[in-house]
Amino acid sequence: MALSSYYPQLVAQRRELHQWPEPGWTEFTTTWYLVQKLKAWGYQVLVGTKVVNPEAVLGRSEKEVEAGLAAARAHNVPEEFLKATEGYTGAVGILDTGRPGPTMAMRFDIDCIPVQETADPNHVPNKEGFRSKHDGYMHACGHDTHMSIGLTVAKWCVDHKDELCGRVKIVFQPAEEGVRGANAVAASGVLDDVDYFLGSHIGMVAKYGEVVIDPYGFLCTTKYDVTYTGKPAHAGVEPNAGRNALAAACSATLQLLGIPRHGKGMTRVNVGMLNAGKGRNVIPPNATMVMEVRGETGEINDFMAEQAMNIIKGNAISYGVEYSVSKMGAACDMKNDPEMIDLLRETAKTIPEIKTITESANFGGSEDASLLAKRVKEHGGKVAFFVNGADRKAGHHQFNFDVNEPALDTGFQMFAGMVKRILARK
């Protein structure tokens, strides 16, 4: 198997990052690791509100952020750097070749999943000594591989700077899980000068040796936290004095799952968590629902969201309780530009390890890289997202998820090959 000369770097970085997974908006140690690498290679690096617009942030908990900062201090991340982040994770590295040309951005997500990694001794991270050291959290979706690919592409661009023109932007995006981070990165304007945008995901619908150059089925989605606030009362002595928030939430849940599906395309709705009540003999004064809607298009997703809001409000009125809704995440649909599809196809043909070039396959989920792509398109740029195939022992988000490491190299070669085609020195 012929692997690129960058393969050892890909593996070493991935294994280091796998050991210190951090959930969305708390990735301070991860961001420090990435920034150190980029600066050492001569990149201009942006962090904090230069990368994240606080007014557009979704699904960020101050309590969790404080815990992330404390963990970073325990890992000896310098206080000066933590101050520079202004409390926001993620980074963008910029490499200017000094020659006129287009600006190309590549996005890599950096957060993890709240999953405890398996103790199975045959699990490769256990066998090779790089399992998660953060109990209850794991890179179970491959973002450790994405970051390593991003860093290696950054190094490749420096090594081949004399062959390139224009500018490169390496975007390390926080909080992809729950589609919470891209909205604020897009709103920062850091991509407004980008002519070409490229994103990718490892695994998913493709096996190792396969690349999907025009995936479809990126579902628009909106995530909500819903809170019902009622009034407690003794369940035996005076139940009539209470206002039952749990009953409102349960009724809303059943009605949400019964929203009519849309005739123009796929729809999804889910209530993933419902927490409520104070005790056996107390009328429940509080209830919190964690839910989402999805749609094949923006129109369909808006239909689902409107129906959900009507149900949530209607049940508040029916049960005499107050309610509040917080938008926690969002993503839109995405379509690759034909010019970028052609470039991906030509790039894949040059990589010996890629045996199958799949023109199109159903991505079947939501990806907030779509919001970054939308921002780039609105400013006249071209965009694409591809799937980098990998062999895996289990599905994404599972406790025994892992990918074969040679798949990192095919992903790296795809990105580097695209840079070569788009930014080749004239």
Let me know: does 143 contact 64? Beta carbons within 8 Å. Answer: no
Q: Is 382 within a domain?
A: yes
Flag whether pLDDT at 349 surpasses 90.
Answer: yes
Q: Which two tokens stand for residue 263?
A: 């005739």
| CATH number for the domain that contains residue 178 | 3.40.630.10
Residue 364's pLDDT is 81
Same-domain pairing of 213 and 349: yes
Q: Quick one: 51 exposed, middle or buried, by C-beta within 10 A (0-12, 13-18, 19+)?
A: buried
Average pLDDT of the residues in 145-151: 98
pLDDT for 68-110, tens place per residue?
Answer: 999 999 999 999 999 999 999 999 999 999 999 999 999 999 9
pLDDT of residue 2: 66
Residues 184 and 123 in one domain: yes
Residues 353 and 227 in one domain: no
Q: Do 173 and 111 have their domain in common? A: yes
Question: How many CA atoms within 13 Å lie on the side-chain side of 5?
Answer: 3
Nearest-angstrom CA–CA distance, 298 and 291? 18
Angle between helix 338-349 and helix 406-423 axes, rounded to 10 deg = 120
Radius of gyration of the chain (CA): 23
Euclidean distance between CA atoms 210 and 213, whole angstroms: 10
* H helical segments located in 75-203: 79-85, 124-127, 143-159, 182-187
Question: Are 183 and 69 within one domain?
Answer: yes
Is the confidence at residue 317, as pLDDT, over 90?
yes
Mean pLDDT score, 34-58: 98
pLDDT at residue 425 in the model: 82
Q: Whole domain around residue 314: which residue ranges? A: 220-330
Residues 6+ apart with CB under 8 A from 291: 223, 224, 225, 226, 256, 269, 270, 271, 272, 308
299, 330, 361 — which closes off a domain?
330
SS3 402: coil
Domain assignment of residue 2, yes or no: no
Last residue of a domain, one of 279, 299, 330: 330
Burial class from Cβ neighbours inside 10 Å (0-12, 13-18, 19+) for residue 378 reads exposed
Q: Are residues 65 and 117 in the same domain?
A: yes
Residue 1, domain member (yes or no)? no
Q: What is the CATH number of the domain that holds 302?
A: 3.30.70.360
Among 224, 396, 387, 370, smallest CA distance to 297 is for 370
What confidence category does residue 426 fall into, taking pLDDT thresholds of 50, 70 and 90?
Answer: confident
Least confident of 20-24, 46-50, 282-286, 330-334: 330-334
Given a contact cutoff of 8 angstroms between Cβ atoms, the answer to whether 393 and 117 are in contact is no
Residue 181 within a domain:
yes
Q: Mean pLDDT over residues 256-263, rounded? A: 94
Q: Is residue 153 part of a domain?
A: yes
Q: Do 408 and 263 fall within a single domain? A: no
Tell me, yes or no, whether 107 and 243 share the same domain.
no
Q: What is the pLDDT of residue 99?
A: 97
Provide mean pLDDT across the span 339-367: 95
Q: Say whether both 265 and 165 belong to one domain.
A: no
- What is the arithmetic mean of pLDDT over 159-178? 97
Q: Are 376 and 272 found together in one domain?
A: no
Mean pLDDT on 317-340? 96
Cα separation, 182 vs 175, in Å, equals 8
pLDDT number for residue 415: 98
Tokens 């224009």 correspond to 166
Instruction: Answer whether 88's CB lies under 8 Å from 49's CB.
Output: yes
Domain boundary among 272, 307, 330: 330
Helix, strand or coil, per DSSP, at residue 13: helix
Residue-averaged pLDDT of the chain: 96
- The DSSP letter of residue 242 is -
Backbone torsions φ then ψ of 346, nearest 5 degrees: -65, -35
List pLDDT tens digits, range 358-411: 999 999 889 999 999 999 999 999 999 999 999 998 999 999 999 999 999 999
Using H for helix, E for strand and C for coil, what is the string for 286-337?
EEEEEEEEEECCHHHHHHHHHHHHHHHHHHHHHHCCEEEEEEEEEECCCCCC
Q: Is 9 helix (H, G, I), strand (E, B) or coil?
A: helix
The domain tally of the chain equals: 2
Q: What is the Cα–Cα distance from 426 to 25, expressed in whole angstroms?
A: 40
- Does residue 28 lie in a domain region? yes
Q: Mark whether 212 and 281 lie in a shared domain.
A: no
Q: Are residues 239 and 300 in the same domain?
A: yes
